[in-house]
Chains A and B, each alone.
Chain A
């Protein structure tokens, strides 16, 4: 039981990162970014190839991936998505779904549907505390997830641009009236979200297999996590990630492995029915 709890918390770190970026984009631009899973997938491949070809440790390459995906996300928003921000939801969904199709087929064409894995030398070793085993890798992943989400929190609350992102998400007219260039903020936000997706993709590549079709599952999870935390409340996504991880882990214990995915979605539906603003809805944020 204790082992399950530890597993769930370790998984929750990854899930939090998966959800945070997705929620951030919705909160600031009201865009459901269907390309989020594809960004995670591409980042996982980046980690895989950098490891395979140059032997760079994934925990080191995460910094490079995040920087690279920040730039990609920024450019994508600046030159393409900014043209449809504020249009109806369907328009932005079609556009981001288009990105997803392109990314998945790109990966299929160049890298084929093979399952690939990153295997650092320290894989398989772990810390034993009584009966509980904590693999070093997962401990490292959880640490990275905690550090990144804390940094995001500090960035959003303590920096000028973080405040501008929050202001834009709360009131676009007023943001423009104090001199905030909201197009720039949109680009920055997409870059930030892509960087977080890259971090998630890197961590996922370390513990799971990498394949072009992995994006669908993680897009679905991003959605569930974001709703659990309160859509648009990026910090609530941390709670959403941990809740989903707990639900999946203990769902397997109670109902069997076949029900792992279902448990998450059932909780998702229940939350939508009972508490549509999410488990930790914040006042004045994401009021729909």
Chain B
């Protein structure tokens, strides 16, 4: 298992938002994390990448404990987080935004090769490499955010709300891109998604988070076929 989260509890002050979370992401796996607004999905990702501190529990990558590590140390050990709403450096250029994803890497040649790979993978973005990132469309910004995350050569890529504010066609395209890149690089992906149907279709496995607890987990098609889930999340 690449990323393992064990018995994780997270609270904002006195308000506990995550209860005994247990999830794992293996190398080469795409995992979907689904749940309604306020279920704690974003908090979970922020805790894995170190922006939030847990109350108790353990986070590890390849057997190495991350629970006390700073966000920068986690990036170094292979966690990349594409945050909700992209969070690009709007005033910097597209190229700078992608390149800064490799902030902790020192091998200049390899970084430049990876940058070329990103431009091949996301040709729309390549055409706008010298523009300010804030001037791009939502889909293009999401591509820049994904490329920025991949530039750290992660073992696990966390993606928060891939589809936020994007047309379904764009989301589908992004999902396919992620699938291809993920296979090519052999990394694990944990994606938080509102579009439950698409998420479970694309994912190998999935978790359902409800008011801070994992209420269901299973293989993608299994979850899609589950009547209770179809009722609760797909309105069928």
Residues of A within 8 A of B (CB): 160, 163-164, 166-167, 170-171, 173-181, 282-285
Contacts and interface: CB of A to CB of B under 8 A. Distances in A.
Name the interface size band of chain B: 20 to 34
B215 interface: no
Contacts of B87: 171, 173-174, 177
A163 B72 CA distance: 16
A177 B72 CA distance: 7
Contacts of B90: 170-171, 283-284
Interface string B124-135: 000000001010
Interface stretch (B55-63, B75-83, B177-185): B75-83
Contacts of B70: 181
B76 A179 contact: yes
A171 B71 CA distance: 15
Contacts, number: 70
B151 to A, nearest CB: 8
Contacts of A171: 87-90
Closest 10 A-B residue pairs measured CB to CB?
A: A284-B91, A179-B75, A284-B90, A174-B87, A179-B104, A176-B71, A170-B89, A179-B72, A284-B134, A179-B103
A175 B148 CA distance: 11
Interface of B: 49-51, 70-72, 75-76, 80-81, 83, 87-92, 96, 99-101, 103-104, 132, 134, 148, 152
A178 B134 contact: no
A170 B91 contact: yes
5 contacts: A163-B92, A166-B89, A177-B80, A179-B152, A284-B91
Contacts of B134: 283-284
Contacts of B89: 166-167, 170-171, 174-175
A155 B46 CA distance: 31
A178 B152 contact: yes
Interface centre among A160, A164, A171 (most CB of B within 10 A): A171
B50 A178 contact: no
Nearest to A164: B103
A173 B72 CA distance: 11
A180 B76 CA distance: 11
Given A178-B75, A181-B72, 8 more contacts: A163-B92, A170-B92, A174-B83, A175-B89, A177-B87, A178-B101, A178-B148, A285-B91
A183 to B, nearest CB: 9
A132 B90 CA distance: 46
If over half of A's interface residues share one DSSP class (helix, strand or loop), that class is named, otherwise mixed; here it is helix
Contacts of A167: 89, 92, 100
A121 B156 CA distance: 65
Nearest to B49: A177
A170 B96 CA distance: 13
Given A164-B100, A167-B89, A170-B89, A176 B83 contact: no
B81 A177 contact: yes
Nearest to A177: B81
Contact of A173 (B51, B80, B148): B51
B100 A284 contact: no
Contacts of A179: 71-72, 75-76, 103-104, 152
A176 B104 CA distance: 11
A177 to B, nearest CB: 5
Contacts of B92: 163, 166-167, 170
Contact of B91 (A166, A175, A181): A166
Contacts of B51: 173, 176-177
A171 B70 CA distance: 17
Contacts of B103: 160, 164, 178-180
Give the interface centre of B50, B70, B87, B100 by most chain A CB atoms within 10 Å. Answer: B100
B147 to A, nearest CB: 12
A187 B195 CA distance: 43
Given A170-B89, A170-B91, A163 B96 contact: yes
A226 to B, nearest CB: 18
B88 A174 contact: yes
A204 to B, nearest CB: 32
A260 to B, nearest CB: 36
B193 to A, nearest CB: 19
Nearest to B102: A178
Contacts of B100: 163-164, 167, 178, 180
Contacts of A170: 89-92
Contacts of A285: 91
B61 to A, nearest CB: 14
